[in-house]
Structure 1
Amino acid sequence: MRRIRFVDISIFVLKYIFNWRFWIAEITKKSKIYKKFIDKMLFEEDEIVVVPNTVNINKKIESEGSEFLPTDIIKEVVKRSEDIVIMNTCLCRESNDCQDYPHDIGCIFLGPTTRKIPNHIGKKATVDEALAQIDKADEAGLTHIIGRNKIDTIWMNIRPGKGLLTICHCCPCCCLWKVYPNLDEDISDKIEKLNGVEIKLHEDNCKHCMKCLDDICMYGSISLENNKITIDYDTCKGCGLCVNACKFDAITIDYTAKTIDNIVNRIDDLIEIKEL
């Protein structure tokens, strides 16, 4: 009961301060002491990877006879997991009263620490149920972020953090969306682009519909300069939502052989959750 009461209080606090998250993040660039405190409390040892949404991209990665869709990376991790919990709702979309994406597509938590998650937060799920949740998120146009996120262990009051892996299905309302660019780069660099993923801009195909500018890019990497769409490749994380938004093939996504190596290596790292 004590844990449930703590979680309920945490949810209340998170919803209350949710729309302050940009201001809270921005202070990390102005105060070294505050940055160290926030990093220690909420982001210590975080490792988060952006995996492109695949519904409209629908491009397979081919290597030595094997084929992958980007979302299959996440599905492979799920298939190797014994403990799975699906969050009942998306706390972020509820807090922001999101009108564009469904509230009932919550995060997926993997690993032995999930056994401590209260039932009113999330329900134990089978592999098939988790895979269906990923497909549902794809169909809704959400992008996936997978990794260890310390803040989840804080608000749910569960430990150890190394036994918890989070799969978020993000939209512009989500806690990480556009917050990481506001953070000091020592923290924001903890969210990574999947190696081998490359977003390309084809100016000749651009019809200036401006759909890619409609609060789509997680990192604010797309802008309009001198009446031309530009992409800041230094900040782009390859989520692919701009590709989905463009109906004229002016923005495309490509993969290289490095992607396959990264898939294998990263899955091996994340699957350590089964060894605890």
Structure 2
Amino acid sequence: MRKISFADISIFVLKYIFNWRFWIAEITKKSRIYRKIVDKMLFEDDEIIVVPNTININKKIESEGSEFLPTQVIKDVIKRCDDIVIMNSCLCRASNNCEDYPQDIGCIFLGPTTRKIPKNIGHKATVEEALDHVDKADAAGLSHIIGRNKIDTVWMNVRPGKGLLTICHCCPCCCLWKVYPNLDDEISDKLERLDGVTVKLHEENCRMCKKCLNEVCMFQAISLKDGKISIDHDNCKGCGLCVNSCKFDAITIDYTDETIDNVVNRMDDLLEIRDF
């Protein structure tokens, strides 16, 4: 009989409390002490960036005569790492019994701390396998979030956090980070939209199919106001899921000329794991 590990216990606990996550997050807005405890335990020093999904996003980022799709940023990060572990399945989608997106497309973990990840959580992968995993996530319509997430070091019981970079492939219904709108601003502000990325609504193309309203937005940025679709740009993180849901080009993602420099600089900061 296999010995029960800390990871086994953590997975069981996470699945048990998964549907309580919104209530737990809401308390951070009501109690200053509770907010500090949650921040210290799960979100301290987090730096998390949303990278738009590339499916149905036709506009490419151009810089110095070259162009690439947003996901290429993630692929470039993967190519520069030696230690890669791919999660065996998505704990979030499995916990939520998600039927709309693949449960077998889990997170990608990068950095030397991945060597401590238990095998029942994830398996060591090559660069090629990780790149193929990103393509599968893109094809499935998932949105990417990349950064240092303290909560991953906690539930997997691995340290140090600076040696671990997480690439999540998120769907609208189940990602743990969907709780961010329910968290106090001091915590939720750690989840950032890429500088220079803007989601635009083109009312002249909208057919009011309302597909973008069907719990597509992870950040509660889309709503119906006065009979029209509305985007709250303060809440929007530029994930691109609403763009994927719209078949009439009523929602698009645009980039400024500064986006490339911002992306490269931020990724270089996160890649400090190479020097660990």
Unaligned runs of 5+ in 1: none
Q: Residue 156 of structure 2 aligns with which residue?
A: 156
- Structure 1 residue 65 corresponds to structure 2 residue 65: yes
Q: Residue 86 of structure 1 aligns with which residue?
A: 86
Give the partner amino acid of 2:216.
I
Give the partner amino acid of 2:269.
D
**CA contact under 8 A between 2:92 and 2:176: conserved in structure 1?**
no
CA distance in 1 between partners of 2:267 and 2:188 (Å)? 22
CA distance in 2 between partners of 1:3 and 1:41 (Å)? 27
Q: TM-score, normalised by structure 2?
A: 0.97
CA distance in 2 between partners of 1:79 and 1:58 (Å)? 24
SS in 2 for 1:99: coil
Unaligned runs of 5+ in 2: none
Q: Residue 213 of structure 1 aligns with which residue?
A: 213
**CA contact under 8 A between 1:3 and 1:157: conserved in structure 2?**
no
Query: Once the 2 structures are TM-superposed, how far is the Cα of residue 263 of structure 1 from its aligned partner?
Result: 1.4
SS in 2 for 1:257: coil
- Structure 1 residue 30 corresponds to structure 2 residue 30: yes
Q: Residue 127 of structure 1 aligns with which residue?
A: 127
Q: Residue 15 of structure 2 aligns with which residue?
A: 15
SS in 2 for 1:179: helix
CA distance in 2 between partners of 1:143 and 1:249 (Å)? 18
Query: Once the 2 structures are TM-superposed, how far is the Cα of residue 126 of structure 1 from its aligned partner?
Result: 0.4
CA distance in 2 between partners of 1:154 and 1:210 (Å)? 38
**CA contact under 8 A between 1:171 and 1:177: conserved in structure 2?**
no
CA distance in 2 between partners of 1:3 and 1:23 (Å)? 33
55-64 or 265-274, which deviates more: 55-64
Q: Residue 258 of structure 2 aligns with which residue?
A: 258
45-54 or 245-254, which deviates more: 245-254
Query: Once the 2 structures are TM-superposed, how far is the Cα of residue 151 of structure 1 from its aligned partner?
Result: 0.4
Structure 2 matches for 1:153-232, cutoff 5 A?
Answer: 153-232=153-232
Query: Once the 2 structures are TM-superposed, how far is the Cα of residue 178 of structure 1 from its aligned partner?
Result: 2.7
Query: Once the 2 structures are TM-superposed, how far is the Cα of residue 175 of structure 1 from its aligned partner?
Result: 3.6
- Number of residue pairs matched by the alignment: 275
- Structure 1 residue 249 corresponds to structure 2 residue 264: no
CA deviation vs aligned residue, 1:54-96 (integer Å, no higher than 9, x gap): 0111321111112120000100100000100000000001111
Query: Once the 2 structures are TM-superposed, how far is the Cα of residue 3 of structure 1 from its aligned partner?
Result: 10
Give the partner amino acid of 1:199.
V
Query: Where has structure 1 moved over 4 Å in runs of 4 or more?
Result: none
**CA contact under 8 A between 1:147 and 1:166: conserved in structure 2?**
yes
- Structure 1 residue 39 corresponds to structure 2 residue 39: yes
Percent identity (aligned): 77
CA deviation vs aligned residue, 1:124-164 (integer Å, no higher than 9, x gap): 00000000000000000100000000000001100000000
CA distance in 2 between partners of 1:194 and 1:4 (Å)? 40
SS in 1 for 2:38: helix
SS in 2 for 1:224: strand
Query: Once the 2 structures are TM-superposed, how far is the Cα of residue 4 of structure 1 from its aligned partner?
Result: 6.2
Q: TM-score, normalised by structure 1?
A: 0.97
Query: Once the 2 structures are TM-superposed, how far is the Cα of residue 177 of structure 1 from its aligned partner?
Result: 4.2
**CA contact under 8 A between 2:173 and 2:215: conserved in structure 1?**
no
Query: Once the 2 structures are TM-superposed, how far is the Cα of residue 40 of structure 1 from its aligned partner?
Result: 0.1
Query: Once the 2 structures are TM-superposed, how far is the Cα of residue 172 of structure 1 from its aligned partner?
Result: 2.1
SS in 2 for 1:178: helix
**CA contact under 8 A between 2:98 and 2:174: conserved in structure 1?**
no
